[in-house]
């Protein structure tokens, strides 16, 4: 076959994708939702800003009302749109929150029978690197905020629930001051998973306060030292210390007998 007889390369729709052995061509509502999502994320409206009206969207795309409503529902499930009913209702832009990721992650882990021990193992493998990333990258104000959070936690060593909440707040501040959005999201997801498990095993922890209080005091002191390392840019030292903190928590979890219990979603 000569080059003049060669068939031109086939052209696939950019909105078509292969799933298994079948070609999946999205519905019109999916294509419209994808276009709207791109436009929203490109133009970055303020949360609460109204989307074009249903009539405007129908005229723009030349489709029926149910198709437009289905497209908006897709964006609603993606947490990019909130729909209010009534005379002053309509679709409005919404900025997604980290909790949507935490909820989905928690449900997935619970559905697959993930245990507290597995969660601890994953934290030991992941968290130290997330913490070490911030060494030498935080502002003086960020360091002050972290120290203030640790001080609040030190004042809660006799109240295990308050201590746990202060620990969760520390993760929230870490995420706020982190210069990388993806790492911040990972920290917030871990914070929410930790919160769910604290509520789940809270009574068990309370019963072990006499043995765990000393550990909580050491935990606070270790956090203060971690902040010193972050301020000085000592990533390896911060990672090593954070690892030891998590390993101590893993031992205590095993000691009080909840390591093999399945975790729960938020």
- At residue 10, the pLDDT reads 46
- At residue 12, the pLDDT reads 46
- At residue 65, the pLDDT reads 93
* Residue-wise pLDDT tens digits, 95-132: 888 888 988 998 999 999 999 889 999 999 999 999 99
CB contact burial 80-107 (16+ within 10 A = b; e otherwise): bbeeeeeeeebbbbbeeebeebbbebbe
- At residue 69, the pLDDT reads 93
- What is the residue extent of each domain of the chain? 17-93, 98-255
- At residue 202, the pLDDT reads 59
User: H helices within 5-159, ranges in order?
Assistant: 28-43, 54-61, 65-77, 98-111, 116-133, 140-154
Residue appearing with tokens 């980290």: 98
Fold exhibited by the domain 98-255 = 1.20.120
Q: Is 263 left (phi over 0), alpha (psi -120 to 50) or beta?
A: beta
Own/partner long-range contacts of 123-129 (Cβ < 8 Å, ≥24 apart): 123/190, 123/246, 124/243, 124/246, 124/247, 124/250, 126/186, 126/190, 127/190, 127/242, 127/246, 128/238, 128/239, 128/240, 128/242, 128/243, 128/246, 129/239
User: pLDDT band at 226, cuts 50/70/90?
Assistant: very high
Domain 17-93 of CATH type 1.10.10.10: yes
**Average pLDDT over the chain, rounded to whole?**
85
Query: Does position 151 have pLDDT exceeding 80, yes or no?
Result: yes
* Residue-wise pLDDT tens digits, 172-217: 999 999 999 999 999 999 988 888 777 666 555 555 555 567 778 8
* Residue-wise pLDDT tens digits, 6-43: 444 444 454 555 555 566 678 899 999 999 999 998 98
| Average of per-residue pLDDT across 162-166 | 84
Tokens standing for residue 73? 């529902």
Tokens standing for residue 45? 């409206």
| Average of per-residue pLDDT across 223-233 | 97
- Please state whether beta strands 17-19 and 22-24 pair in parallel, antiparallel, or not at all (unpaired): antiparallel
- At residue 139, the pLDDT reads 97
| Predicted structure pTM score | 0.76
- At residue 205, the pLDDT reads 54
| Average of per-residue pLDDT across 148-166 | 88
CA 174 to chain CA centroid, nearest Å: 13
Same CATH topology for 17-93 and 98-255? no
């Amino acid at each position: 076959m000569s080059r003049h007889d060669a068939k031109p390369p086939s052209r696939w729709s950019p909105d078509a994708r292969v799933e298994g052995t079948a070609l999946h061509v999205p519905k019109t509502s999916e294509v419209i939702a994808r276009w709207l999502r791109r436009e929203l994320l490109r133009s970055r409206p303020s949360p609460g800003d109204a989307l074009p009206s249903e009539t405007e969207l129908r005229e723009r795309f030349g489709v029926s009302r149910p198709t437009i409503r289905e497209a908006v529902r897709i964006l609603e499930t993606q947490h990019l749109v909130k729909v209010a009913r009534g005379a002053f209702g309509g679709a409005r832009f919404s900025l997604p929150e980290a909790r949507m990721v935490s909820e989905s992650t928690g449900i997935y882990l619970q559905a697959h029978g993930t245990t507290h021990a597995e969660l601890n193992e994953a934290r030991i493998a992941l968290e130290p690197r997330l913490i070490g990333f911030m060494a030498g990258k935080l502002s003086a104000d960020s360091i002050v905020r972290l120290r203030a959070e640790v001080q609040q936690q030190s004042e809660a060593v006799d109240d295990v629930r308050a201590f746990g909440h202060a620990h969760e707040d520390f993760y929230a501040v870490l995420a706020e001051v982190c210069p990388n959005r993806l790492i911040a999201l990972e920290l917030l997801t871990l914070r929410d998973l930790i919160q769910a498990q604290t509520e789940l095993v809270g009574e068990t922890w309370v019963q072990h306060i006499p043995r765990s209080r000393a550990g909580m005091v050491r935990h606070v002191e270790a956090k203060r030292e971690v902040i010193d390392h972050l301020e000085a840019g000592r990533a390896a030292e911060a990672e090593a210390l954070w690892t030891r903190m998590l390993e101590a928590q893993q031992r205590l979890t095993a000691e009080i007998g909840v390591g093999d219990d399945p975790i729960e979603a938020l």
